[in-house]
């Protein structure tokens, strides 16, 4: 059995986050000692590791909940899990596309000013103040 502190150390998930996951129903409610301290078993450790890995990959709490439900029912088709992962991949690709556009615009803006002169003539500041100076919507 693991205390919440030990579980936190092993998974690198902060104690308040563990409590939050428990409140959200992602993590089963822990057993309690006579002193009302939480105690987690190996299954709790494995579940928290699953949640941590899914969060690291950017899955939402709702998606993780659905994935846990599938994990808890091993006789179900894994099609839903594939759909959830594919949806997450599409979101990541869309974010990358937006970030690349931001990178281009920030590069353009920063090259518009050589860092010399006064702030009243600074192209970076002017661009931030006037969206019309941007090449594209972002």
pLDDT in tens, 16-48: 999 999 999 999 888 888 888 889 999 999 999
- Helix, strand or coil, per DSSP, at residue 23: helix
pLDDT at 109: 85
Domain residue extents for the chain: 2-76
Pull the structure tokens for residue 128. 């931030």
Report how far residue 102's alpha carbon sits from residue 136's, in angstroms, rounded to the nearest whole number: 10
Does the domain at residues 2-76 carry the CATH identifier 3.40.1260.10? no
- Helix, strand or coil, per DSSP, at residue 52: helix
């Amino acid at each position: 059995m693991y205390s919440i502190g030990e579980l936190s150390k092993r998974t690198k998930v902060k104690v308040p986050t563990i409590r939050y996951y428990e409140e959200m129903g992602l993590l089963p409610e822990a057993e309690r000692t006579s002193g009302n301290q939480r105690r987690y078993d190996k299954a709790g450790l494995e579940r928290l590791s699953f949640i941590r890995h899914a969060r690291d990959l950017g899955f939402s709490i709702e998606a993780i909940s659905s994935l846990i439900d599938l994990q808890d029912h091993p006789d179900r088709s894994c099609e839903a899990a594939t759909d959830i992962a594919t949806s997450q991949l599409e979101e990541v690709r869309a974010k990358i596309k937006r970030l690349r556009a931001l990178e281009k615009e920030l590069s353009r803006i920063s090259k518009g000013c050589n860092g010399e002169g006064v702030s009243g003539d600074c192209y970076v500041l002017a661009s931030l103040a006037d969206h019309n100076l941007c090449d594209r919507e972002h």
